[in-house]
Each structure stands twice: as structure tokens, then as C-alpha cells.
């Protein structure tokens, strides 16, 4: 399967209705999602942005879905909720995968997503350091139950999607000495908020679908 991610901007105040529609997704739309080869889809919110992570069969699986009559009807339902650019296009951004670590092929019971803001111009170095991730950091991830972790970028924001074994897996990972030492190597690359905290924002999952692509 191919990993794919994008963000979608909502209109102010549209989140509750957007979530309600997805809680009651049409069976015929799910059938089209399966037919187009979209096997896993998760949506997380950092209002007004929705971050979508998916695993797809073909590079054009999403394009296939978006060109179906069923999705056209669904899109009409979503139109008042979704923001558009000045050119009249849906305000969506494709994300580029910059990091992937898989410690287990077993199913993961818990999904997690967060965003991290980088300093301007820092993305290349941030990616290079992850391309050379420390083996001892990978060991800590495995010990803490971080089974899979994938990062996507829309410079200067990096979006992470994780699959965890236990509810506190990520908290235990962040508390480790190795993680502290790893974080210290990113000085000057990661942006901070006005109150001196790393600009990291955890997201709530608002939609998940597993299908069996046909």
C-alpha cells in the first residue's frame, strides 16, 4: 500500500457538522472508497485544518474517488463547510512524506496525530537528521510501544501520524533520556510559541475508516 496525506481547511464553525456527516458516512460512498483502492483513512483536527492520513492501493486512488458521481454528491453536501481559495479551488494541501519508522507489523489499537512547526528554512536539515535516526532512539520507540510513526511536511509544518500499542506509549517515549538527547540536536530547527514551548499540537481524531479494497 502507498501512504498518502493531505490537509483540508474548513470554514469557521463548520467542524461539528463536518464530523456529524462523517459519523454517518453513506454506505455507497464507502463502497466507492473500497473500489478506488483506499484501504485506511483517518482524519484528525487542528481546527480549522483537518489532517488526513490514508493508505491507498494506487497513486491515483484519491483522484479516482473524487471523479465519481457518488463523491460529487457528497462534495455538494460538504461545500458549505469547506474553505475555498481565491481561485475557487478547495483549500487542500498535499503533504510529502519525510520520515517513516515501522517497528511492528502487528495491528495497532491506538492512533495519534500531532503537528510540529519548524523555523523557516529548517525542513531540509530536519529531514536529514531523521534520515540518520539513532538506533538507540528506535529501540526506545519499540520499547515504549510506538509501532509505526510517519511524518509528512507542508513547510514549515510537519504532521505526524503514529500507531501505538498503549495509551501512554508516546508519553513514556517523550520522558526517556534518549528522546531528550535527540531533541537537543534540533536546536534552531524547531519553532517555539510566545510562552517558550515547542510549537507542537496534538490533534483529536474525528473520523476513521478501514476498508477492504477491491
- The neighbour count for residue 140, using CB atoms within 10 Å, is 17
pLDDT (0 to 100) of residue 128: 97
Question: Across residues 5-10, what is the average pLDDT?
Answer: 97
Which residue matches cell numbers 473524487?
A: 66
What the block records as the C-alpha cell of 151 is: 511524518
Question: Across residues 134-149, what is the average pLDDT?
Answer: 96
Residues 31-48 have pLDDT tens digits of 999 999 999 999 999 889
**How many Cα atoms occupy the beta-carbon half-sphere of 114 within 13 Å?**
12
Residues 170-198 have pLDDT tens digits of 999 999 999 999 999 999 999 999 999 99
Mean pLDDT of the chain: 96
Distance (Å) of CA 182 to CA 60, 86, 132, 176: 37, 41, 11, 10
Least reliable range by pLDDT among 66-80, 98-112, 130-144, 158-172: 98-112
Reference 164, options 177, 150, 179, 176; nearest CA is: 150
pLDDT reading at 102 higher than 80? yes
Least reliable range by pLDDT among 19-23, 102-106, 159-163: 102-106
Residues 118-134 have pLDDT tens digits of 999 999 999 999 999 99
Give dist(CA 87, CA 1) in Å, integer: 33
Q: For residue 64, give the 3-state DSSP assignment.
A: helix
Domains observed in the chain: 2-93+204-210 (3.30.70.100), 96-202 (3.30.70.100)
pLDDT (0 to 100) of residue 17: 97
Distance (Å) of CA 206 to CA 69, 137, 140, 168: 25, 30, 29, 20
What the block records as the C-alpha cell of 81 is: 463547510
Which residue matches cell numbers 501505538?
A: 164
Q: Which residue has the higher pLDDT, 105 or 210?
A: 210
Q: 122-125: long-range contacts (C-beta < 8 A, 24 or more apart)?
A: 122/156, 122/188, 122/189, 122/190, 123/98, 123/153, 123/155, 123/156, 123/158, 125/189
Which residue matches cell numbers 491507498?
A: 56
pLDDT reading at 117 higher than 80? yes
pTM value? Answer: 0.94
The DSSP secondary-structure symbol of 95 reads -
DSSP 8-46: EEBPTT-HHHHHHHHHT--HHHHHHHHHTTEEEEEEEEE
Amino acid at each position: 500500500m502507498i501512504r498518502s496525506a493531505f490537509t483540508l481547511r474548513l470554514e469557521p464553525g463548520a467542524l461539528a457538522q463536518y464530523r456529524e456527516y462523517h459519523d454517518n458516512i453513506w454506505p455507497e460512498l464507502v463502497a466507492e472508497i473500497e473500489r478506488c483502492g483506499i484501504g485506511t483513512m483517518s482524519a484528525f483536527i487542528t481546527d480549522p485544518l483537518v489532517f488526513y492520513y490514508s493508505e491507498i492501493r494506487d497513486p491515483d486512488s484519491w483522484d479516482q474517488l473524487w471523479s465519481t458521481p457518488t463523491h460529487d454528491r457528497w462534495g455538494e453536501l460538504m461545500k458549505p463547510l469547506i474553505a475555498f481559495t481565491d481561485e475557487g479551488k478547495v483549500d487542500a494541501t498535499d503533504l510529502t512524506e519525510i520520515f517513516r519508522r515501522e517497528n511492528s507489523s502487528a495491528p495497532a489499537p491506538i492512533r495519534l496525530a500531532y503537528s510540529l512547526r519548524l523555523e523557516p528554512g529548517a525542513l531540509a536539515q530536519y529531514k536529514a537528521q531523521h534520515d540518520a535516526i539513532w538506533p538507540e532512539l528506535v529501540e526506545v520507540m519499540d520499547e515504549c510501544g510506538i509501532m509505526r510513526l510517519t511524518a509528512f511536511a507542508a513547510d514549515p509544518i510537519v504532521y505526524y501520524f503514529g500507531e501505538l500499542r498503549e495509551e501512554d506509549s508516546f508519553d513514556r517515549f517523550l520522558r526517556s533520556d534518549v528522546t531528550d538527547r535527540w531533541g537537543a540536536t534540533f536546536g534552531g530547527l524547531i519553532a517555539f510559541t510566545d510562552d517558550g514551548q515547542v510549537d507542537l499540537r496534538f490533534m483529536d481524531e474525528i473520523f476513521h475508516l478501514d476498508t477492504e479494497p477491491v
